Every structure is written in structure tokens, then in C-alpha cells.
Amino acid sequence: MDPGRQVFTVDLLERYAAKGRGVITCMAAGNDVIILGTSKGWVIRHDFGVGDSYDIDLSAGRPGDQSIHRVFVDPGGSHCIATVVGSGGADTFYTHAKWSKPRLLSKLKGIVVNAVAWNRQQITEASTKEVILGTDNGQLYEIAVDEKDKKEKYVKFLFEMVEIPEAFTGLQMETTSVPSGTRYYIMAVTPTRLYSFTGFGSLETVFAGYLDRAVHFMTLPGEIPNSELHYYIKQRRAVHFAWLSGVGIYHGDLNFGAQHSSSNGDENFVENKALLINSKLSDGADAVKPSSMALSEFHFLLLVGNKVKVVNRISEQIIEELQFDQTSESVSRGVIGLCSDATAGLFYAYDQNSIFQVSVNDEGRDMWKVYLDMKEYAAALANCRDPLQRDQVYVLQAEAAFASKDYLRAASFYAKINYILSFEEITLKFITVSEQDALRTFLLRKIDNLAKGDKCQITMISTWATELYLDKINRLLLEDETALDSHDSEYQSIIKEFCAFLSDCKDVLDEATTMKLLESYGRVEELVFFASLKEQYEIVIHHYIQQGEAKKALEVLQKPSVPLDLQYKFAPDLIMLDAYETVESWMTTNKLNPRKLIPAMMRYSSEPHAKNETHEVIKYLEYCVHRLHNEDPGVHNLLLTLYAKQEDDSALLRFLQCKFGKGRENGPDFFYDPKYALRLCLKEKRMRACVHIYSMMSMHEEAVALALQVDPELAMAEADKVEDDEDLRKKLWLMVAKHVIEQEKGAKRDNIRKAIAFLKETDGLLKIEDILPFFPDFALIDDFKEAICSSLEDYNKQIELLKEEMNDATHGADNIRNDISALAQRYAVIECEEECGVCKRKILTAGREYQTRGYTSVGPMPPFYVFPCGHAFHSHCLIAHVTRCTNEAQAEYILDLQKQITLLGGETSRDSNGSLTEESISSMTPVDKLRSQLDDAIASECPFCGELMIREISLPFILPEEAYQVTSWEIKPHNLTNLRSLSMPL
């Protein structure tokens, strides 16, 4: 321990704490509350939390001298129990922090209470819950008091020691909640024994169980004036206990979760038991027994004479001695006792007049060193406060393991050291003893313990560890040649460990350096593994191809992080290695561009294949064309080429007839090059395919000519495909007919009969006269008699039809002449009051001569128009109205006709009665023609009943040129500034 720093210090808290009420006889503390008992029967309460104190006289009404035997206060400082002993016997009182008067516990009349156990887990400010009282005649009682009841709820007898009726001098109770209820743990001490009780249910049930079974206890010899039992409380739970007995201090750890059953009672919940004998507390002289004690986390405070010796609970060494500043009158009796406040974490000592406070100043600061001296390394590490302290623990652990030649364990501890020993010193230790495995272990653990920011150091150590792994692998191979074949050998284990190391350190190892190391040691498998970790897929794939493992190479290529360029680069090798797996891989990879795979497919296609073998390239190309709807001409041309080289041309013909652009707007029917396809099919002598290509290119004559060399039926089918060009269709059928006639080698009569039968297949397109030139000149007419007669009959029927059509035309012409004559005689009756539809003046008005543009009246009336509907218009009014209402182009046309008529002038040629005849029509002058055109333009229909009126519906009420009239209707505000205000009388 550091002698310069005191862990425990003593301060005088109050000099005359008894306030003249006698001398202090006993003391208790809890939650910054101190309860004192005096020799005159007074209980004095000091509440340091609120700064208050008051006195209670428990001797009132009792004869003779009265003294407070014991006082007890709960951990919360609210409940107090005190026992008064005098000439009149013993009485026990209960008082609450809020009460001004105590309450006598009448059922305990005459019983001296020596010890109290509080239920720390369940006690509240308002209620004590279960409380156990220990008496000087060896009995245990249970009581409970509520603050509002002003008296005890009950007092129950629990237990009595019959074998040795000793007084109970210390009691402690702890409870835990279990599924079946509450479990109680009770410890009680007498001057010579430590008892332990445990059970479920209630306290009464727990102690009733010991009527049928023995009580567990431990006996220690020796006598002591006051045997004490203390618990150290941490977070409201007892974790250590200490019993001040006649021979020393019996102590240990408490484990209230243990469910052990043993003959030793305290083993139910007591662990790590030890005994500190009194002889260790003296310096060779006679052992002096402590008169009182207190228990802290790591120390015992023992009152020996007028001093407090502080003993470390772990090392059992005295670390400090505390002196008290006593008054002269108190020196004679000395310090009476110690007590502790578990809630506040303070300790107190008291004599007849004064209270002393013992404060703890970080008592665990040097416990790491205590545990380290005892070689309890785990506990030492748990109590270390800084890295330097931990390093000292690791150094001792490492050196101890190194000295015992446990080098691997030593390496693990050395790796945790950061300050005391350097990296170089530690590595030299292992190199000196030639422990490569331990050195490797040290390096691996060092990597784990380094911070992520030490990238350079991590990389260097990882590289060194890599070399050590490789060296270990080589040494194992040299030692055991069968290690490669054994699956459970150390060699296989180190290989797995090395691969795991590479996987963990892939981000910190230098790529180039590591690969060179692996290559220099000949570790190809590990090189490939590391390359895969570093995403150097090209190396990995190349290795698998060299090993003939196409499937593994394809699995690597399928990874999303692998660039597509590697697919194209290795495609030629992979398809030659395993065409089926390669093509299957291509078909599952949708991002591939088939055009870039053409070189690989060409290489595969150039190799010979068995007749019934599935052509993998054709399978892939068909997948691209039909499933992926690929439109690349190169892909289609390659597929066409492979089809053309097959013996069976059915697949080729199906491919040529397939319309790949079907269903798309303006989509083409094919994507291959037709000229290339034609050349290829001609070269490979696929004539049917050539016929189809000619037809597709609209080269029907070539298609029919080639089809005639293959199959006349095919030629006929090709000739029938031409539907929009009758002449071409006839020409094609003539080619077929000529070929059919020339190919017939039988008798001439059979030849002629077959030719005539062929005419029937053309559905009347060819006549006998069309095919006669193809026959020889010496053919007999008798052979054609039937066909010629049939042809003549057809011509006769056509002549009759023409005659009927001519007669119908003649009758039609006569009817037209009659209509013209009747039209010339048509007239209309005009009433004298009839008005012009535009100007509303009378049509038959006599007066001055009207001169209009294009027309001149020849009589007293102006020229006018009368329509069958009854509407009549002056000519100039009708011209003006139509010009205004029609579109701009028609209006300009009318004005142009008027201008031409005006320029030409003249009169219309009419016969004597003014009617137009055929002769007059044929002899019309240009002016008359212009006037006729003008009539057609303005008087083809009535403007009020025809289309002109219908179009006016969509015209606006106000035309754009009349916009000025709109502004004239706008209401503008007047200037109101000059208006007078008139006062209106109310």
C-alpha cells in the first residue's frame, strides 16, 4: 500500500453528544441518522441529513437508575428500537422518526434485546415489515410495527436455543424473490457459534422447519465480551459478512442465489470462507482481542484498546492504525465501540462523551496490488484503474507462464502489454528460445489489441505473421509427408487457421507483398484464396481454368462484384472447357452482351461436333433471339450461319420465316442481313431458303425461277404471293407454265392435256392463247379444240356484256339531253312585293338603271337571283353577302372573276327567247364563261339555307375588326374630386 495516502481518516463529529443526559452507552446509525443511548435512559437522535436532533426519555415512570442497553435503527433511519435495563427489569421501546413519544412493546416486557435484523429489501418508511429480535436468553422473536398504528402489529416467538442457552449478540437477514414466493436467509451469532437459517414462505414457516431438523451452525472456541456479526451492503444487497469471534474474524462472501444443500448450514449461501486469527493483529506480543469491529468493502476496522486497526480483508495485513482525540474524562474507559452506516457509507466510533467519524477515501485504489501480490490475477485486473496497472499484472502473468515454459500462454499475456515492455523486447524473448509458434501467437494477439488507427504497425505485424504461418506449413510438410492426405492432421488445421487469418486481415495486408510471399512458398491454393478475398478475380479464374475446373471459374464470374469484361475475356477458354456449363452460366447472366461473346462462339463452332450432340452455341443464340429479343444483326447472322451448316434445313427455314419485329410499331420482320443470308444459302446450296430470301427481297422472278429448279409446287406458291401487281403475277405464272410444258416428256397429247389442266389451277389468270406460244408449231389443233371453244365462249359472253353496257350508256345520254331541255324551260314566279334577302328592297323595283360590278341591267329592273327555296337576292347584294361571309380564298376568287368580267365586258350570246341551247353552249364567249363561273361561286346554293349559314353559327358575335365597338361600351369612372357633398338632413 502507498504509505503516503491514508485510506481511513478519523474526525471528531461531536464532543458532548450526550447533552448531559448521562454518558453514552450504545450507538446505531443509518442514512445519516445517529441514535445514541445514555446511562440515564435517554435516547438522543441526530439527523445530519436535515440538521435536526431531539431527545426521548425512556426512563420516565420507572423507579431507580435506568440505562439504555441497546439501540437499533433501520437502514433508512426511520425506525428505532431501544432496550432499557434497570432495577425494574427490561423494557423495549419503538419510536419513529416522526414521533415525539416512544411506544412500549408490552409483549416484550422483561426481555433484553441484544440484536435486531431488518428486512432491507421490503422495509419502508411507514412500516418495518418483518423484524427479527435476538435476546440475551437465546430466543428469537418476530415483530412488525406500522407508523400509523402507534403500536406493534404482532410479536411472534420464532426460535429458542435449547442445547446451549447463549445470548444472541448479532443478527442479519436477507430475502430474495423466487417463483414460489420469498426465500429468507438469516445469520445469527452467539459468543461461540454462528447459526444459519434458510427457507421459503414466512419467517414463522422457516423456523418451524427446524423443529424436525438440526440447526446448521459453526462453533469457534474462545471467549469475547461482545461477539458481533456484520454485513457489507452494496447496492442494497449483502455481499460479504464478518463474525467477530473469540479466536478471530470468520468472514466470507455471500451468494443468495445458490441452491446448494450441504451438512454445513452456511454453505447454502456462504462462499470463500476464511478465518483471520487474533494473533495476526499483534506484533509478537500477547494477542489482544478486538472489542468491536466494522466491515467495509475490502477492510476490517477493529477496535483494539483505544485504537482502530485497519486490516485488509484480502491480504490480512494491518495497513493503518487510527487514533482518537479523547477528552481527559473519557480516556479511562476508552473508546466503547464502532458502528457503521451502510446507506451513507460511513463508520463511527464513540466513547462516553464524543462521536468520531471514520471516513473512507477510495479504499479500492491499491487493491489491484494486493491481489497481484497474492497472484490472484483476475481479481487484480478487475481492480486496476489505469493501463499501467494492468500492464504490471500482465507482465507478472506473462513472466510466470514464460518461466514455466508455457510459451503460448505467455504470448497471450505479452500481447496485452502496451507500456512496460516494448514490442521488440517481447519478440526477442521468443526468438531467443526459438519458439516460432508462440511468436506467431503473440503477433496475432497483438494485432487484436492494437487500435485501428495504427495501420502501419498492423500491416507490418500481419505480414510477419503471414511469413510465420507459411514457415510453419512448410515445416509440417517436411516433418510428415502424409499430412496432405490426412484430414485431421495438424497441417490441415494450420491451413484452416491460416485461411481464417487471411480472411480477417485482408484489409490490412499489403496485396503485392502478400502475393509474392505466397508465390515464393509455392502456396497456390492460398494465393488463389487471398486473390479472391482481394477481388483479384482474374487470377482466381485463370487458376481454375488451368486446373480444368470450369464450374468453379463460372461461379466466380457469377458474383455481382466481378466485372463483365472478365466474362468476355475468359469466354473462349471456358466454352472449350465445358460448353454446357458455360452456356448455362451465360443464360443466367442477363447483363451480357451476346455480340461480345461472338469470338468465343465462333471458336466453339469451328470445332467438329457429333451428329446428335446439342450445339450449345445455337442453344444460346436461340435464347438471345427468342427470349431476350436481341436485335443485333451480328447475332442473327451467326445463328443463320450455324443453321445453314446443318444437314437438316428445317431449322433454317423456320428461322427465315420467323417475324422478329412482329408486334412493334414499324418493327422490321428480320434483323439479319438478307444479302449475306442469300450468299450463304447459295454457297451451302440451301435452295428453299434462297427462294424464301428472294421472295422476301421482292425479287419474285428470281424466286420463281429458282423454285422451278427445286419444286414446281413451291414456284406456284411463290407466284401466288404477288397480289397487288396483276401483270407481274401473270408473268410469274407464265414462267411456271412454260416450265411445266417444257418438263413434260410424255406423248404430245398428254402434254397438251396437262397444260390445259394447269390452266385451271391459275383461276382464270392465264388463257389458252397465253400458253400457245410455248407449244411446238406442229401441234395438232384438235388437241386444243375444247380449250379454244371454251375461250371463244368466254369472249362471246364478254361481247354481250359490252353491248348491254353501251345500250345503257345511250339511254343515259338521252335522259341527260331531256333534262337539259327541261331545265332550260324552268321558271319561278316572283311576287311584286318580294324583297331582297339582304337589302330588304323590293326585287321588282323600277327606276334608274342598276349598274353592278360584273352585271348590267338591261331593263327597268336590276338583275337578281331566285332560289328554289323561295329566297331572292339582288345580284350585287348576293355577291356582297357571299364575299363577306365566305373564307378569304373564296372571296378573293369571286372578286377576281368580277374584275375579269369588268375588263372583258360584252354580252352573253343568247337565242331569241334567251334560253341556252347546245349550240349556244358550245359558242359561249369568254365573258359568258366567267359569268357562269361567277354564278357557280355565289349561287350554287341559297346563302340562307345552305352550308354558308351553317358555318356562321361558329362565328363570334363581334368580329375582330369590330373590336373598336367593344371599347365604346366600356364604363369609365368619372372624376369625383369636383363633386360637392350635399348634407342630408336627418
- pLDDT score at 747: 43
How confident is the model over 365-396, as pLDDT tens digits?
889 999 999 899 999 999 999 999 999 999 99
Per-residue pLDDT, averaged over 719-730, amounts to 62
Q: How far is CA 839 from CA 598, 829, 877, 881, in A?
A: 87, 20, 7, 10
- pLDDT score at 753: 55
**Dihedral through CA 749, CA 755, CA 757, CA 761, nearest 10?**
180
Per-residue pLDDT, averaged over 27-37, amounts to 94
Asked whether residue 788 carries a pLDDT value surpassing 70, the answer given is no
**At 728, is the pLDDT very low, low, confident or very high (cuts 50, 70, 90)?**
low
Asked whether residue 300 carries a pLDDT value surpassing 80, the answer given is yes
Of 133-147, 450-464, 534-548, give the lowest mean pLDDT range: 534-548
Domains of the chain, with CATH numbers? 8-257+265-363 (2.130.10.10), 389-743 (no CATH), 755-799 (no CATH), 835-842+861-899+928-948 (no CATH)
581 contacts: CB under 8 Å, gap ≥ 6: 550, 551, 554
- Cβ atoms of 268 and 260 within 8 Å: the answer is yes
| Alpha carbon distance 634, 632 (integer Å) | 5
DSSP strand pairing (346-350 vs 355-360):
antiparallel
The proportion of the chain whose per-residue pLDDT surpasses 70, expressed as a percent, equals 82
- pLDDT score at 475: 87
| Alpha carbon distance 327, 304 (integer Å) | 18
Asked whether residue 104 carries a pLDDT value surpassing 70, the answer given is yes
**At 34, is the pLDDT very low, low, confident or very high (cuts 50, 70, 90)?**
very high
- Cβ atoms of 159 and 207 within 8 Å: the answer is yes
- pLDDT score at 260: 47
Helix/strand number for the chain, H first, E second:
34, 32
Grid cell digits, residue 184: 429468507
Q: Which helix (H) or strand (E) holds 139?
A: strand 139-145
Q: Which residue has the higher pLDDT, 607 or 978?
A: 607
Which of 312, 308, 309 has its CA nearest to residue 299?
Answer: 312
| Alpha carbon distance 774, 738 (integer Å) | 6
Determine if residue 22 is left, alpha or beta; phi over 0 gives left, psi from -120 to 50 gives alpha, anything else beta: left
Give the highest mean pLDDT range of 198-202, 489-493, 904-908: 198-202
Grid cell digits, residue 350: 464513540
How confident is the model over 628-684, as pLDDT tens digits?
888 888 888 888 888 888 888 888 888 888 876 554 555 567 788 888 888 888 888
How confident is the model over 790-821, as pLDDT tens digits?
666 676 777 888 888 888 888 888 888 888 77
How confident is the model over 460-493, as pLDDT tens digits?
999 999 999 999 888 888 887 666 666 667 888 8
Interior/surface letters 177-212, b for 16+ CB within 10 angstroms, e for the rest: eeeeebbbbbbbbbbbbbbbbbbeeebeebbeeeee
Which of 134, 25, 19, 106 has its CA nearest to residue 69?
Answer: 25
- pLDDT score at 68: 93
727 contacts: CB under 8 Å, gap ≥ 6: none
| Alpha carbon distance 228, 231 (integer Å) | 10
Per-residue pLDDT, averaged over 510-523, amounts to 88
Asked whether residue 513 carries a pLDDT value surpassing 80, the answer given is yes
**At 936, is the pLDDT very low, low, confident or very high (cuts 50, 70, 90)?**
confident
- pLDDT score at 134: 95
Alpha helices in 149-308 (DSSP H): 203-208
Q: Which residue has the higher pLDDT, 355 or 606?
A: 355
Which residues, listed in sequence order, are joined to residue 146 by a DSSP beta bridge?
127
| Alpha carbon distance 171, 187 (integer Å) | 6
Asked whether residue 916 carries a pLDDT value surpassing 50, the answer given is no
How confident is the model over 329-338, as pLDDT tens digits?
777 788 999 9
Per-residue pLDDT, averaged over 29-43, amounts to 93
- pLDDT score at 524: 85
| Alpha carbon distance 441, 409 (integer Å) | 9
Q: Which residue has the higher pLDDT, 962 or 175?
A: 175
Q: Which helix (H) or strand (E) holds 93?
A: strand 89-96
Q: Residue 258's CB: how many other CB atoms inside 10 A?
A: 12
Of 213-227, 521-535, 837-851, give the lowest mean pLDDT range: 837-851
| Alpha carbon distance 510, 461 (integer Å) | 11
| Alpha carbon distance 596, 563 (integer Å) | 14
Per-residue pLDDT, averaged over 409-424, amounts to 91
| Alpha carbon distance 497, 387 (integer Å) | 31
* Residue bearing cell 407454265: 737
Calculate the average pLDDT of the chain.
81
**At 983, is the pLDDT very low, low, confident or very high (cuts 50, 70, 90)?**
very low
* 348 phi and psi angles, rounded to 5 deg: -130, 150
Asked whether residue 46 carries a pLDDT value surpassing 70, the answer given is yes
Q: How far is CA 831 from CA 827, 836, 842, 870, 871, in A?
A: 13, 12, 9, 10, 11
Burial (CB count <10 Å: 0-12, 13-18, 19+), residue 985: exposed
* 371 phi and psi angles, rounded to 5 deg: -65, -35
- pLDDT score at 850: 46
Per-residue pLDDT, averaged over 433-437, amounts to 91
- pLDDT score at 28: 95
**At 195, is the pLDDT very low, low, confident or very high (cuts 50, 70, 90)?**
very high
Of 810-819, 940-949, 961-970, give the lowest mean pLDDT range: 961-970
| Alpha carbon distance 712, 744 (integer Å) | 12
- Cβ atoms of 835 and 873 within 8 Å: the answer is no
